[in-house]
Structure 1
Amino acid sequence: MGNGLVDALIYINLTTGGTSGRKTASNISLGFVLYQNDGFFRTPSYNKQRWSSGRVLAASVGGHEEALHHVELHFNPSILNDTSLHDYACVSWDYNLEDWCTKGCKKINSSMTVGCFCNHATNFAVLWSYSEKYQYRYLDYISMAGLIISAVALVITIVHHLKVNVCKTARERQGNFHAKLVLLYIYTTLLAFILLFLCGSDNHHKSYNVTSNLDLQTNKIPENSRHVEPDAGPCTAITALLHYFLLATFTWNSVYGTQLVLLLRSLRSSLPPYWTRLSHVVGWGLPAVIMAITLGATYSVNNPLNYRQEEFCWLAGVDQNKQFDFAKPMFWGFLLPVSLILVYNAVLLVVTALTTCKIDPKLRSTKKTTLWKKFLVCFSLAVLLGLSWSLGYLVLVSHAHAHHVLSIIFCIFQTTQGLQIFIFFTARTPTFRAALKHSGHTITSASLARAQTYYLWENFKKALSFESYKKWENSKSESTAMSEMNTSASCGEEMT
């Protein structure tokens, strides 16, 4: 019994073989044993997880075994709040095979959830297969607004960067071209990650569970107590691309910080000749290797949730009890390599700050504005190196109120990272200000040109000036005078 309800009902139909209506002693005995676990019935064909109770019911008939007609079993399994019954199999233990088998058993309709019919008495069990009810996640308005603003800011940054530093001839380019190209890679990979996250992170092929259509015709042993829908494809592809582009953003951040330290420490205007090839191998190749290993080691079509999550398209990180699992790809495929990159980037930032903020002892004074600019250089470099992602590790280890506060701060910093890059690496540059000022003058000139399109005087195609206006006024006065003279002459003639 459970909560006032019957958990199981067993009906055994016996035939005594008597021909008269008199009741005679049959000398038939029944015996039942309920095993609280399946320790004596281990099987490799069925993977039992947290939803299965593992209890086995054994029934035996003594006296006349041929008197047994059939056994009916009706179960009302306790279903967890976050699960639903997907399928089940009526089985008995075969000592010859040392495994569960469906021989002599079948499913039947039942007023309870599960019904079984068997034509023999042995060790019975019902192997469940449950589906988990997922709480699908959606981007909230704050995250969506921040990501959209960052995407627009990165588009402006990329267009300006292409115009100023890339789309020029070799003679027009100033400084180290490869260093500026690395910045373009950072902007591009981060923009690709944001756009993919906005458009594809929500799982559009959701596994909505249907619990009322149990297949009673097929009595097949499920492979797992947890039913997982086969992979539809798009969500896994989005997960792999998000994993790759986010790792590529971090690797290119490290490449940029490394080459910046090399230039500052060596006081040279160019990088070593091997640096271009090495940076491309690290920037594009290392994320591809990590993503490929993670995908190949954990993914299968029949069980995609070992690689990704069902709630939204990202790497799997928790176990079936919703606890963080270090064996999942979220840890060793993303958190571990990113933590190593962040430690390396932090060292690069310290070295750059010590080199940039070093005060020459020969100088007798240092202006406060110069120190402020040096601070902005270090802070903008910290933004570009993605050091704010370290807050995510604090979110993982925090609890209660601190966890909530750190989650909000982390969300704000990460969703607006593109906007921060635009402010520090584009909006503050003289070239962008000059381009913005030139665009303002162009718009003003265009509006003035539209206002001076039509003229009423003779030389309407010429630009309007004070002299032309004066000439037009003189011509107007002369014509007025001539008309007045003609009018006076005509009046004189009439008077005469």
Structure 2
Amino acid sequence: MVHSSTAHLTNTSNTPNTITPPSTTTLPTTMVHSSTTAHLTNSSNTPNTTTPPTSITTVLYITSPITIPPLVCVNGGELQNGVCICPDEWTGKTCSNGNFCNSTNVGNFTFPRTVIGWFGYSAELCTANTNTAGISKAAVRCLNDTGSPRFGPPQILKCGLTLIDIQRNISMVSGDLLHLASSTQILTSRPEHLSADNITRAVQIANMLFQSNITQEIFVAAVTTISQLLNTSEKGTHESDAVKSLTVTLEQLSKSSNMSLVVQPNLLVQSAQVPGDTVGVHFTAFTGGSGNFVANRIKLNTDSSELISDNGGSTDIEMVIKFKPVLRSENTNHSIGFVLYQNDNFFRSKAFQASLGTSRRVLSANLGETSGLDVEMLFKPMAVTNASLYDFACVSWDYTLDDWSTYGCSKVNNSEDTLQCFCNHTTNFAVLMVYRRDFTYAEAHNWITILGCSMSIIGLSLTIIFQIVTRKSRENILTLLIVSICTSLLIFTLLFMLGVENPNQLLEKPKIQINTIPSSDIYTKPDKGPCTAVAVLLQYFLLGTFTWSTLCATNIFVMIKHVRVPKHLTAYTMIIGWGLPAVVVGLTLGISYRVDNPLGYRQEEFCWLAAFDPKGNFDFTLPMFWGLLVPVVFILIFNTALLMCFSNATDKINIHVTSIRHDLTKTFYGSFSIVVVFGLSWILGYLLLITHDQTAYTILNIFFCILTTTQGLQIFLLFTARSAFAKKNMSSALKSLPSFHIPLYHTMKYSFNQGNQNVQVESYKQLNSDL
């Protein structure tokens, strides 16, 4: 209920007092009653009469918020921030208005549907017997000068005419300049097929045309030629003197008062006269579905000093040039010109390297030698797949340095959608954007992984202890081999459990740094050490495990051939076992690791060897392939060859020593199987780290735990549990249980013939049983 109020109403008319109830505004929804007492005073010429107070009941209606339905974009438009972003061929609030000339025949040529202001090229091509085979015979521009889109008169190419001919005719001031300009435009309509020499000639021709006394039609043809050349990727030609001269000429020509707005897909040039008393000039280029420049998306306000960005954040570039009071004059106009490049192909930097394939739009503003200006700009950052913006630099092109410079410019992080720059002069401007890759970090180990690795650690630890305690019962080389295998694998397993997760994950938010030119468009966090150290140790001990397993099998093979291992083989075994993995790791680090870019060697998501490119594809140039997989493949090939030789050698052993042959075969096959289990388990472990699908992660985790548990238990069973010493103690402990009986193995002597010699082997069965 609304509170009561008292109103004093005065009637100053000559008519008798009358009371008119207040009008009622109907705003449908909630109705509220208000009780009002009115005291009326009559100041007219009629006798005063006293009217008792009248109670008036007013009915108020309060409206509910009106819901505005969202825009429905048609013709392929996309709704972004409440605004329809239209394809090039459409315009309007909902992309319902056509912005093109329909496909039609003009003269004897057929032209496709073409955006207003752009050129269409004929379907008819020059024949194969000419120098211009495959090039369109004619070009025509879509115009809108009459209020209805239409094609203008076609410009026809003389098939066989080359850029060399055109350059010669222009230099000799012979021929029709419009025809030569149009011919150059048509010849460069397929820029991907242009050679470096032709690109340079086309740039030189356009520069010569710009420096001539040309008409609007010639100027448009030359601008279109440059727009097409911006699609080329010949880096050497973009750094030529002709390109530098061309950009200077365009900047100077843009402020010519007799040139109107010219917009082509990759380049626009706009000239304007600005009143002398203006507070500023506001230039805006709006985005489209394809990112091309279209005339109806270019806006110029010659009396504005504020950045507006009122198109729902859909602007590519916005610039305001503010005139200080000392520059204002009612009697003097200013000529101003803008040139906007779709990319920076004509501004190749030596200090800044683009590794992500990104490009930067370049905006030139020219007011001649005018000084004392304040220039504010907004740039929309380019979206990069699997990366986010980390930092940027506001720069201008310095023709003395022939590179970007931050002189006279500063930056402000305006918002997530725009990058704001301030400069005190006009020239070619750009923003150099730095992106940080979006990493998905591996999940923490769960109890299944911890349990599996723990069981493997226990088995390896027991094996090491047992081999050291019982070392006197076997050859020293055998103890060395077994302990080395177990130690290497044990350290690797512990590192995998405790250190494979990156302790310095790149999770902090990007910070806007000072306005300095970055060296690259990729941000890489400098190495802090621990993660790389873990990756180095993991690579070393995993390679060491494979190496020692192979050495174990090799020594057993040598024992078969020579009965006892030569003494010098022990030294060689130590050098190879611990030295070969160190050599491989050292080469890997030397080739791929840099302190300022550790991701050339390891991954950011976890402390393991780098394997994938930024798009998530396996990269054969990274250390995971040649620093681990290739050495492991060679080890497996060597083991396979050794297995074949072993099988052939055991076939020649005396048939009376079958038990020896059996024990040796079991030991050798056990060593070979360890290598296979190692390979399978840690391949699954790597897949486990890079898998983000929950179902696949669970399945891989189960198999990984089974294999890691198996490898520890397998080593324990092969080298500890089935030894004579272990069986003897187990038998003693279980004698009280009648249902258990484990036969004891006794030391025996064997002899077998090797060539013409009879060789006596003592305790050979026990020696191999201890394996």
Structure-1-length-normalised TM-score: 0.75
Select between 382-391 and 370-379 the one with higher mean Cα deviation: 370-379
Shift of 1:335: 1.2
Q: For the residues of structure 1 that align with 2:516 and 2:715, how far apart are their CA atoms?
A: 57
Opposite residue 337 of structure 2, the aligned amino acid is L
Conserved 8 A contact 1:143-1:412 = no
- Provide the C-alpha distance between the structure 2 equivalents of 1:184 and 1:88, rounded to a whole number of angstroms: 55
Indicate conservation of the 8 Å contact 1:10/1:71, yes or no: yes
Alignment-mate amino acid for residue 32 of structure 1: V
Distance between the aligned counterparts of 2:702 and 2:647, measured in 1?
Answer: 29
Q: Which amino acid aligns with 1:265?
A: K
Question: In the TM superposition, what are the counterparts of 1:134-153 in structure 2 within 5 Å?
Answer: 134-137=439-442, 138-153=444-459
Amino acid of the structure 2 residue aligned with 1:431: F
Q: Distance in 2 between matches of 1:321 and 1:244?
A: 28
Q: 1:255 Cα deviation (Å)?
A: 1.1
Kept in 1, the 8 Å contact 2:449–2:704? The answer is: no
| Amino acid aligned to 1:250 | F
Secondary structure at the residue paired with 2:561?
helix
Q: Distance in 1 between matches of 2:570 and 2:656?
A: 37
Tell me the distance in 1 between the aligned counterparts of 2:413 and 2:554: 69
- Quote the offset at 1:378 in angstroms: 5.5
- Amino acid across the alignment from 2:495: L
Unaligned runs of 5+ in 1: 443-496
Please name the residue that 2:319 is paired with. 10
After superposition, residues 63-102 of structure 1 pair within 5 angstroms as 64-66=368-370, 69-80=373-384, 82-102=386-406
State the shift of 1:262 in Å: 1.1
- Matched to 2:592, the amino acid is T
User: Which range is displaced more, 295-304 or 8-17?
Assistant: 8-17
Tell me the alpha carbon deviations over residues 129-168 of structure 1, each in whole angstroms, 9 at most, x when there is no partner: 222232111334443322111111111111111222x2x4
Supply the distance in 1 between the matched residues of 2:581 and 2:519 (Cα, whole angstroms).
35
Deviations 1:162-195 (A, max 9, x none): 222x2x4xxxx34x32123211111111111111
SS in structure 1 of the partner of residue 517 of structure 2: coil
Structure 1's 422 and 292: CA in aligned 2 closer, same or farther, altered over 3 A?
same
Q: Is the 8 A contact 1:92 1:122 kept in 2?
A: yes
**TM superposition shift of 1:123:** 1.8
Q: Contact 2:352 / 2:520 at 8 angstroms: preserved in 1?
A: yes
Matching residue's letter, 1:144: I
The answer to which of 347-356 and 114-123 deviates more is 347-356
What is the distance in 2 between the residues matched to 1:372 and 1:261? 14
- Tell me, yes or no, if the aligned pair for 1:388 and 1:410 is still in contact at 8 Å: no
**C-alpha offsets along residues 322-358 of structure 1, whole Å, 9 cap, x if unaligned?**
2211221112211111111111112222333444467
- 2-structure distance, mates of 1:19, 1:178: 94
Deviation at 1:28, TM superposition (A): 0.8
Indicate which of 326, 348, 353 corresponds to 1:42: 348
- The amino acid of 2:429's aligned partner reads F
Aligned residues of 2:553 and 2:668 also touching (Cα < 8 A): no
Amino acid at match of 1:303: N
Write the letter of the residue equivalent to 2:503.
H
> Aligned pair in 2 of structure 1 residues 290, 297: CA closer, same or farther (>3 Å)?
same
Aligned: 1:118 with 2:423:
yes
1:198-219: CA deviations, max 9, x gaps? 11111112221313x423xx21
CA contact (8 A) 1:231 1:303 kept: yes
The answer to whether the 8 A contact 2:505-2:604 is kept is yes
Count of aligned positions: 419
1:437, CA displacement in angstroms?
A: 4.0
> How much does 1:125 deviate?
1.3
1:251 equivalent in alignment to 2:547? yes
Asked whether the 8 Å contact 2:556–2:668 carries over to 1, the reply is no
Deviations 1:32-85 (A, max 9, x none): 22133x3222223222122x63123131325x5417723211123144464332
Q: Structure 1 residue 227: deviation in Å?
A: 1.3
1:154 and 1:392 map into 2 onto residues whose CA distance is 16
Q: Which residue of 2 aligns with 1:430?
A: 724
Instruction: Tell whether the 8 Å contact from 1:261 to 1:352 is kept in structure 2 after alignment.
Output: yes
1:327 matched residue in structure 2: 621
Q: 1:370 to 1:272 in 2, by over 3 A?
A: closer
Structure 1 residue 239 and structure 2 residue 535: aligned?
yes
In 2, are the aligned partners of 1:104 and 1:118 still within 8 Å (CA)? Answer: yes
Distance 1:415 1:293 in 2: 32
Contact 1:253 1:386 (C-alpha < 8 Å) held by counterparts: no
Query: Residue type of the partner of 2:482?
Result: L
Partner letter of residue 233 of structure 1?
G
Where does structure 2 lack aligned partners over 5 or more consecutive residues?
1-286, 290-311, 737-771
| 2:352 corresponds to 1:58 | no
Q: Percent identity?
A: 37
1:106 equivalenced with 2:405 (yes/no): no
Structure 1 or 2, whichever has the larger Rg, is 2
1:11 deviation in Å? 1.7
> Shift in Å at residue 91 of structure 1?
0.5
Provide Cα deviations, 1:419-446, integer angstroms capped at 9, x if missing partner.
Answer: 221123322223222233445679xxxx
> Structure 2: how far apart are the matches of 1:79 and 1:255?
52
Match of 1:283 in 2: 577
1:132: which partner in 2? 437
**Aligned equivalents of 2:478, 2:401: Cα separation in 1:** 68
Structure 1 residues 211-259: Cα deviation after superposition (integer angstroms, max 9, x where no partner):
3x423xx211112211122211111111111111111111111111111
Q: Are the counterparts in 2 of residues 133 and 209 from structure 1 also a CA contact under 8 Å?
A: no
Residues of 1 paired with 2:552 and 2:439: CA distance?
A: 41
Alignment check: 8 A CA contact 2:552 2:671 kept: no
Cα offsets for 1:14-47 (capped at 9, x unmatched):
4696766x5x5615132222133x3222223222
Task: Map residues 250-329 of structure 1 onto 2, 5 A cutoff.
Answer: 250-266=546-562, 268=563, 270-329=564-623
Whether the 8 Å contact between 2:539 and 2:585 is mirrored in structure 1 is yes
Closer/same/farther in 2, CA of residues 100 and 207 from structure 1, 3 Å limit = same
Structure 2: distance between partners of 1:311 and 1:18: 56
- In the superposition, the TM-score normalised over structure 2's length comes to 0.49
Moved more, 409-418 or 249-258: 409-418
1:103, distance to aligned residue in structure 2 (A): 0.6
Asked whether the 8 Å contact 2:388–2:436 carries over to 1, the reply is: yes
Partner Cα separation in structure 1 for residue 686 and residue 439 of structure 2: 22
**How far off its partner does 1:361 sit?**
7.0
Structure 1, 428-437 or 280-289: larger mean CA deviation = 428-437
Instruction: Give the match's secondary structure for 1:198.
Output: helix
The superposition leaves residues 286-310 of structure 1 with CA deviations (integer Å, 9 ceiling, x where unpaired) of: 1111112212222222111111111
Q: Tell me how far apart the structure 2 counterparts of residues 393 and 163 of structure 1 sit (CA, whole Å).
A: 33
Distance of 2:413 and 2:679 partners within structure 1:
55
Letter in 2 for 1:89: A
Equivalent in the alignment of 1:418 = 712
**2:612–2:618: 8 Å Cα contact kept in structure 1?**
yes
Match of 2:502 in 1: 203
Q: What are the superposed Cα offsets for residues 240-282 of structure 1, whole Å, 9 maximum, x if unpaired?
A: 111111111111111111111111233x1x1123211111111
Between 324-333 and 64-73, the greater mean CA deviation after superposition: 64-73
Residue of 621, 624, 630 corresponding to 1:336: 630
* Paired residue type of 1:46: F
* Partners of 2:453 and 2:463 in 1: CA distance: 15
Partner Cα distance (2:477, 2:362) in 1 = 73
* Partner residue, 1:214: 512
1:385 alignment partner, SS class: helix
Report the Cα distance in structure 1 between the residues aligned to 2:327 and 2:502, rounded to whole angstroms.
65
SS for the counterpart of 2:713 is helix
Q: 1:178 aligns with which of 465, 477, 501?
A: 477
Amino acid of the structure 1 residue aligned with 2:408: G
Aligned to 2:338: 31
